[in-house]
């Protein structure tokens, strides 16, 4: 058995990244065309060299330990940098670009994702974009299913979210602060108004994104979640909420940033309330972002700036 302190090889890191991605030593072995016992031995050797367990093994596969989660972040950085070196100096073809993003239901996040993919310029890539619940965004980033998450906070949910993020080893990084708007159909009578009030919304169906088992006011995707509404419909995806805006003259409250290309039938009208929406990205406190994640955030900032909103940082 290798002694603690022995060197970690690039092959160790590449194999570990695949095992973590597949959640299975056998599946990773098949992917890399090596025998399962060889891959299993390589993972045990890596853990011996690191001096701590990185994988929790069970009959259903493997999951990352807390140390394994942190280690994976650094391993991904090294593997990506080596690929870039080989591409630049050895003329190797560009490697597959990998990035996972989890986000609340924001069209600017999708718009930025589209721009990033178009600008990638490689023949092969593997990206994931999950529009999902607030709790699941935090879990995705904590477990490195996604490298970063995009969500909102304000004075109401700040303390609860910040504590949950701290306990998960994550940090919230502000991107921009938005004035609340209602999203409604272009055919809604309020669409021609310069501003809307809460009284204007009293008889309209309020549309909110379902938060599942974690349906706390603090995890709501919309501000003013504690206000009662005579008519309320919870939905699970953005296409459905837009259809209900059109079919039922419903509304939801969001940032006001909406893409005409992606959502041509929906308009944003400023809401006259004393609230602000702080949008930010979350990531691991001890793990730097990969270059691909930084490219995505640059596209987010570009999209937001295009709507005349000042970005932070």
pLDDT at residue 23 is higher than 50: yes
pLDDT at residue 192 is higher than 50: yes
The predicted-structure confidence for 230-249, as pLDDT tens digits, reads as follows 999 999 988 899 999 999 99
Residues 99-118 have a mean pLDDT of 94
Say how far apart CA 140 and CA 203 lie, in whole Å. Answer: 37
Q: Helix, strand or coil for residue 25?
A: helix
Residues 24-31 have a mean pLDDT of 89
Task: Name the maximum alpha-carbon separation found in the chain.
Answer: 73
Q: How many CA atoms lie within 13 Å of 267's alpha carbon, on the beta-carbon side? A: 15
The predicted-structure confidence for 121-148, as pLDDT tens digits, reads as follows 777 788 899 999 999 999 888 877 889 9
* Residue 136, CA distances (Å) to 100, 178, 188, 212, 213 in order: 13, 23, 33, 10, 11
115 Cβ contact partners less than 8 Å away, ≥ 6 residues apart:
299, 302, 303
Please, what are the domains in the chain?
A: 10-85 (1.10.10.10)
pLDDT at residue 49 is higher than 60: yes
Stronger pLDDT, 245 or 263, i.e. the higher one: 245
Q: What is the DSSP letter of 206?
A: E
Give the pLDDT of residue 278.
Answer: 96
Q: What is the DSSP letter of 190?
A: G
Say how far apart CA 313 and CA 309 lie, in whole Å. Answer: 13
């Amino acid at each position: 058995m290798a002694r603690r302190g022995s060197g970690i090889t690039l092959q160790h890191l590449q194999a570990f990244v695949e095992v973590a991605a597949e959640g299975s030593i056998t599946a990773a072995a098949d992917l890399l065309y090596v025998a399962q016992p060889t891959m299993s031995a390589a993972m045990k050797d890596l853990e011996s060299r690191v001096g701590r367990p990185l994988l929790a093994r069970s009959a259903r596969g493997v999951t990352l330990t807390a140390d394994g989660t942190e280690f994976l972040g650094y391993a991904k950085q090294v593997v990506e940098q080596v690929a870039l070196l080989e591409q630049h100096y050895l003329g190797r073809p560009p490697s597959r670009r990998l990035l996972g993003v989890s986000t609340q239901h924001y069209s600017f996040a999708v718009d930025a994702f589209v721009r990033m993919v178009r600008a990638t310029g490689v023949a092969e890539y593997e990206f994931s974009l999950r529009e999902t619940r607030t709790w699941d965004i935090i879990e995705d980033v904590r477990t490195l299913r996604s490298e970063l998450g995009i969500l909102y906070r304000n004075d109401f949910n700040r303390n609860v979210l910040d504590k949950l993020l701290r306990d998960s080893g994550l940090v919230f990084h502000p991107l921009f602060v938005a004035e609340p708007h209602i999203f409604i159909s272009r055919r809604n009578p309020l669409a021609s108004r310069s501003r809307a009030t809460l009284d204007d919304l009293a008889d309209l169906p309020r549309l909110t994104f379902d938060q599942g088992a974690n349906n706390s006011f603090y995890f709501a995707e919309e501000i003013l979640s504690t206000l009662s509404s005579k008519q309320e419909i919870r939905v699970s995806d953005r296409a459905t909420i837009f259809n209900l805006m059109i079919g039922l003259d419903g509304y939801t409250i969001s940032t006001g940033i909406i893409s005409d290309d992606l959502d041509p039938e929906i308009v944003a009208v400023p809401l006259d309330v004393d609230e602000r929406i702080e949008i930010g990205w979350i990531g691991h406190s001890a793990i730097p972002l990969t270059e691909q994640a930084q490219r995505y955030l640059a596209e987010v900032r570009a999209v937001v700036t295009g709507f005349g909103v000042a970005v932070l940082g």
